[in-house]
Amino acid sequence: MQFAPTEEQKMVREMVAKFAETQIKPIAAELDRTHRHPEEICRQLGEMGIMGVAVPTDYDGAGMDNVTYVMALIEISKACASCGVITSVNNSLYGYPIKAFGTEEQKKKFLAPVAGGLVEGCYALTESGAGSDAGSLKCRAVLKGDKYIVNGTKTFITNGNVARYCVLAATTDPALGYKGVINLIVDLKETPGFSVGKIEEKMGILASGTSELVFEDAEVPAENLLGTPGQGFKQMLSGLDAGRSGIGSQAVGIGRAALEDALAYAKERVQFGKPIATFEAIQFKLADMATELDAAELLLLRAAWLEDNHLDFEKEAAMAKYYAGDVAMRAAIEGVQIFGGYGYVKEYPAERHMRDAKITQIYEGTNEIQRIVVARKLIGMR
Ligand code: CAA
């Protein structure tokens, strides 16, 4: 068993950590306050290869592994959770299905610009009536000649208001259930009949746009279909498996930020004549935060390692995602508690970490759905 990262993994983690600390962290509070899309950060991360970490260099990715991806995403999310999810969606939800199921032409045309960091991508699955029950989509794509005519509305789409391209999950016929699901690559700037709908007002990750995508007789070239009809739902679920390491990494990054800030504060804050870090009540919180975050990171690295070695990682990615999300939430709440009254005001980042952490228990498959995935595998129901 080898726990040490390779020289390349170590070097990339250090490079991203330095960039995140010096370029992202100083503007994280401003991004949270203004809800501004961090365009300049996205472009720079693209130049560093971080918008397509595990995408082959032929398609303008960095050609590295998923272990490196997890490490990079933890460091970005530690500085800014919004930058973390934007990076995760470009790499995983958008990038993975095209990398795994796209034709050579689709990869060159649609994967390379996102992996190279020129534009954002998004993945449009969720609808108002299809959240955890992902197979019950109503957004319809009907083949007419050499085009799919798409009608429907997608909700809660991360990057939806800024993305150039989208992988869209739709159904050719709702009566077919999950077997009717297909994935289409859509150029959102060149598709008449497409518009960005409501932009959500959220609790956290405020610099990452979340919007509706509205399709009204939108025409998508049939050549933009990913793989073959009938395979769309399985493509989608395997893409979500891959993406769950991304959101788990975002969660660990947020939790690590909560720990780092609380630790520094506890060493400085003096009460009863001593720094509060000398009190056991505070030490136990810090110890639990550090231990649980290490455990979550190890689960994530295992899932990524399995994926890199072409082994089944569905259960392990689900375990890592839900454990990391729960740990991040606990760490963020304890971070606020350690800051006391200062944890509740916007002068310090503790309250932002708490608002940002919550979503990691909800999106990319709720933590309840992750437990179902794990349990089904244990029981052998699939
Ligand atoms: N990979 C490939 N195929 C899979 C699979 C997987 N992980 N899991 C199931 N399948 C296959 C099954 O084998 C089955 O195929 P067969 O009939 O040929 O055997 C088929 O898919 C249907 O499987 P199920 O009956 O198990 O499907 P289900 O309807 O019960 O759903 C689920 C399973 C796990 C609950 C799934 O619906 C799910 O993951 N739901 C959560 C959706 C989700 O994660 N949404 C997130 C949106 S994106 C987002 O949030 C991102 C963001 O904002 C950042």
Claim to verify: residue 279 and residue 373 sit in the same structural domain: yes
Q: What is the pLDDT of residue 342?
A: 98
Claim to verify: residue 364 and residue 239 sit in the same structural domain: yes
The predicted model scores a pTM of: 0.96
Claim to verify: residue 222 and residue 286 sit in the same structural domain: no
Between 174-178, 314-318, 374-378, the lowest mean confidence (pLDDT) is in: 174-178
Task: Round to whole Å and give the CA distance between 57 and 107.
Answer: 11
Of 297, 307, 316, 364, catalytic: 364
169, 183 Cβ separation under 8 angstroms: yes
Q: Which residue's C-alpha comes closest to atom 11 of ligand 1?
A: 234
Residue 95 located in a structural domain: yes
Claim to verify: residue 228 and residue 238 sit in the same structural domain: no
Average of per-residue pLDDT across 354-379: 97
Q: What are phi and psi of 182, to 5 degrees?
A: -130, 160
Claim to verify: residue 226 and residue 240 sit in the same structural domain: no
Residue 364 falls in the annotated catalytic set: yes
Q: Is residue 45 packed enough to be buried (19+ CB in 10 Å), middle (13-18) or exposed (0-12)?
A: buried
Average of per-residue pLDDT across 299-314: 97
Claim to verify: residue 167 and residue 301 sit in the same structural domain: no
pLDDT digits (tens, 9 = 90+) for 32-45: 999 999 999 999 99
Helix, strand, coil distribution of the chain in percent, nearest 5: 60, 15, 25
245: containing domain: 234-379
Residue 1 located in a structural domain: no
Claim to verify: residue 253 and residue 345 sit in the same structural domain: yes
Q: What is the DSSP string of 33-86?
A: HHT---HHHHHHHHHTTTTSTTS-GGGTS----HHHHHHHHHHHHHH-HHHHHH
Claim to verify: residue 226 and residue 258 sit in the same structural domain: no
Confidence label for 230 from pLDDT (cuts 50, 70 and 90): confident
Partners of residue 194 on adjacent β-strands: 215
Among 182, 215, 232, which residue terminates a domain?
A: 232
Task: Assign residue 18 the CATH number of its domain.
Answer: 1.10.540.10
Cα dist from 28 to 23, 37, 79, 348, whole Å: 9, 11, 7, 12
Nearest alpha carbon to residue 337 among 322, 324, 325, 348? 348
**Closest atom of ligand 1 relative to the 135 alpha carbon:** 29
| CA 189 and chain centroid, separation | 23
Overall number of domains in the chain: 3
**Closest atom of ligand 1 relative to the 373 alpha carbon:** 34
